[in-house]
Structure 1
């Protein structure tokens, strides 16, 4: 039996399955390292607001109409000050930079090159918008965190292979409820960057 084809395309309007994409984000972010206790209404609102920007790009991987992955990018200048301020302090030119919000994929589809396709599409969108730099951040977890699965993947080698490097001293804080928690917890996020 032939495995179904994975299609990677850009979502251009909120009519293209935001509910399914919001559900997918929650499902993936529940896993290590985020351990996110998601809220469907919040996720759908986030995606709708995200797509309101004419320079934003949202790329999805799907089988038929069922999404299996999502990646986003938009101008860094349009991000909240809590995200931008540490980069300004580190000397990053905000006006010339694009921010990559997330790149998530269901584990069953890892190792098929989709992560590279997500980065290629977002880097192309950033160049098309006139950006010279691409930036994202990833959560910092302690190596000895007892919740870390034995088979946890370290994405740093993949990011470095793509030409990204940590921005020295540039961290921000993001808060979310972890699985089973009742209050939001602050998490350090390390910025990574590359020239386009």
Structure 2
């Protein structure tokens, strides 16, 4: 690890050179609890194509030298999947006013350095520069307390998110399909949204 971690925002076609390394990092980090995601490079590259296709999207990249050690994605909700949009439409939100802070991934060796805060700051700054957003949101998978893969020392990020101004909205729920580690097939996972309302 070097003494200087560089953080940059990239959008649209500027993301292309970073997609393979970013896909590998996402698979590595999302294998851990609570996601337990058994992903593939092909799927990740296809997923990340959305951020290339829409120039209003952003991926915040953290570099140690030339190596990507962390990344955080965000996109206006209007460009997201129907599964994500439906809870907001059902609850009367204007999708043009919702900015979706999709995921953050960070190599374990670089945690505790303030990059999680920086990821939120950069995504929110991007939303502010685009303008017109009243709500910032992300969603989190819900796992049972007695899940067999839950680490003994697992600490939920609820307090961290609250400090950033985000609060859980149980009325905003969706489900996503993916294959857990050790499973043969995809299963539906409950996802709950957290919101921050802009003043």
Which residue is equivalent to 1:139?
A: 141
Which runs of structure 2 are paired with 1:1-196 in the superposition (5 Å)?
A: 3-12=2-11, 13-130=14-131, 131-196=133-198
- SS of the residue corresponding to residue 26 of structure 1 reads helix
Deviation at 1:42, TM superposition (A): 1.2
Conserved 8 A contact 1:139-1:187: yes
Distance 1:15-1:88 versus aligned 2 partners, 3 A rule: closer
In the alignment, structure 1 segments of 5+ residues that lack a partner are none
Q: Distance in 2 between matches of 1:126 and 1:24?
A: 24
| 1:160-194 residue CA offsets vs partner (Å, 9 max, x unmatched) | 01010112311100010111222111100010000
Conserved 8 A contact 1:100-1:136: yes
Q: Distance in 2 between matches of 1:151 and 1:47?
A: 31
Aligned CA-pair RMSD: 1.4
Conserved 8 A contact 2:2-2:65: no
Residue correspondences, number: 195
Conserved 8 A contact 1:14-1:48: no
Question: TM-score, normalization: structure 2?
Answer: 0.93
Conserved 8 A contact 2:16-2:52: no
Q: Distance in 2 between matches of 1:60 and 1:185?
A: 30
Q: Distance in 2 between matches of 1:76 and 1:176?
A: 21
- SS of the residue corresponding to residue 16 of structure 1 reads helix
Conserved 8 A contact 2:2-2:64: no
Q: Which runs of 4+ in 1 moved over 4 A?
A: none
Greater percentage in helix: 2
Question: TM-score, normalization: structure 1?
Answer: 0.94
